[in-house]
Amino acid sequence: MSSTDRPRLAVRSPADLIAAVPYLLGFHPAESVVVVALRGRQIVFAARADLPEPTADPAGPAQHLAGVVHRQRADAATVVGYGPAAQVTPTVDAVRAALTEAGLALLDALRVTDGRWWSYLCTEAGCCPPEGRPYDPGASQVTASAVFAGQVALPDRAALAAQVSPVQGPARLAMRRATDDAERRLVGLVERAPGSDLLGGRSLRAAGVAAVRDALRRQRRGERLDDAEVAWLTLLLTHLPVRDHAWERTDGRERDIALWTDVLRRAEPELIAAPASLLTFAAWRAGQGALAAVALERALAVHPDYSLALLLDDLLRRGVPPSELDGWPAVGLPGVVRRKRSRRAGR
């Protein structure tokens, strides 16, 4: 699912919309159903789901998609199914019914496969022939405008997932050695903590705040963290006060996305929960829902009970708009009450 707070693309026809969808999602969909939501004349959201298995009831995914789109305060939508008619048509029909039930105007319902598109709503042979209408997204002005604006549409979702995949080979061996060194450094930090510092909590937080500050500063300068710095940071992020400190300083800026992507890819598997969640949050805040989803999948695959990942999973599944966090972190997350410190407590 993805917000569309990006350079505007002029969509004037079904072929233009089909050309725009990969840039709204960040990749070319296949075996999918996509709902493009509009508010007035502006596209505000695109949501994608896998086509259900032929024996599965499409009503469940359809209701979910309709609910997500409705929460974007959209008033109209177009449905696009990708794949063979036998698999696409039942799903598109179910999504159409769910959108109508949710009170959204249905502008069109399309099927796309093998370089052709069909409309489920148009029955005029001159406009929508039975054999479908050919289209060439490479020749579309929408594609040219998107590329000129720097937008990217990866070949498929697997290519997007590869952008957050763990490094391998010599880079992985180097990170394992760096993490071993960082673990010894961490033990020493806790052992040197004064007796009044229970379990070294204050020392860990101070070291974590410094590591996060240095990482963000290096990223602003365009500098990449070395293996030792990444290993030290990922270990300290397992301390929740440090993770929350980093979270409060993470937004939808490109540098935040770049930093946490790099840290996630290089972190050891047992240490990915925090950087994966921070990347998920940054991507979601930036309106890059597909990137947020693949980062979250990495976190939950290894750490299915990680609380921040579960919270973000709920936000993405419910389609909560990133705009609800304008003013973060003062406003808190939707559904999470942030208690303000009293002035007396502050003193």
Place of tokens 């697997």: 158
pLDDT score, position 300: 96
- Two tokens, residue 235: 């270990």
174 shares its domain with 101: no
113 shares its domain with 87: yes
pLDDT score, position 119: 95
pLDDT score, position 342: 41
257 shares its domain with 109: no
Identify the domain containing residue 128 by its residue range: 2-156
- Two tokens, residue 331: 């406003």
145 shares its domain with 253: no
149 shares its domain with 167: no
- Tally of domains in the chain: 2
189 shares its domain with 315: yes
d(CA 308, CA 80): 33
174 shares its domain with 152: no
151 shares its domain with 243: no
Domain boundary among 118, 137, 156: 156
For residue 151, give Cα distances in angstroms to 107, 136, 169, 217, 296.
Answer: 25, 18, 31, 27, 22
136 shares its domain with 170: no
177 shares its domain with 259: yes
220 shares its domain with 325: yes
pLDDT score, position 336: 61
Q: What is the pLDDT along the chain (347 residues), one digit of tens a residue?
A: 444 444 556 677 888 899 889 988 889 999 999 999 998 888 888 999 999 998 889 888 899 899 888 888 899 999 999 999 999 999 999 999 999 999 999 999 999 999 999 999 988 878 888 899 998 877 777 776 766 556 778 989 999 999 999 999 999 999 999 999 999 999 999 888 887 766 678 889 999 999 999 999 999 999 999 999 999 999 999 999 999 999 999 998 999 999 999 999 999 999 999 999 999 999 999 888 899 999 999 999 999 999 999 999 999 888 888 877 777 776 677 756 454 444 334 43
Domain boundary among 136, 156, 176: 156
Q: Tell me which DSSP letter residue 342 carries.
A: P
CA-closest candidate to residue 306, choices 336, 282, 264, 270? 270
pLDDT score, position 152: 74
Domain boundary among 141, 156, 171: 156
137 shares its domain with 202: no
Q: How far is CA 338 from the centre of its chain?
A: 24
d(CA 81, CA 162): 24
CATH number assigned to the domain comprising residue 143:
3.40.140.10
Is the separation of the CB atoms in 282 and 252 below 8 Å?
yes
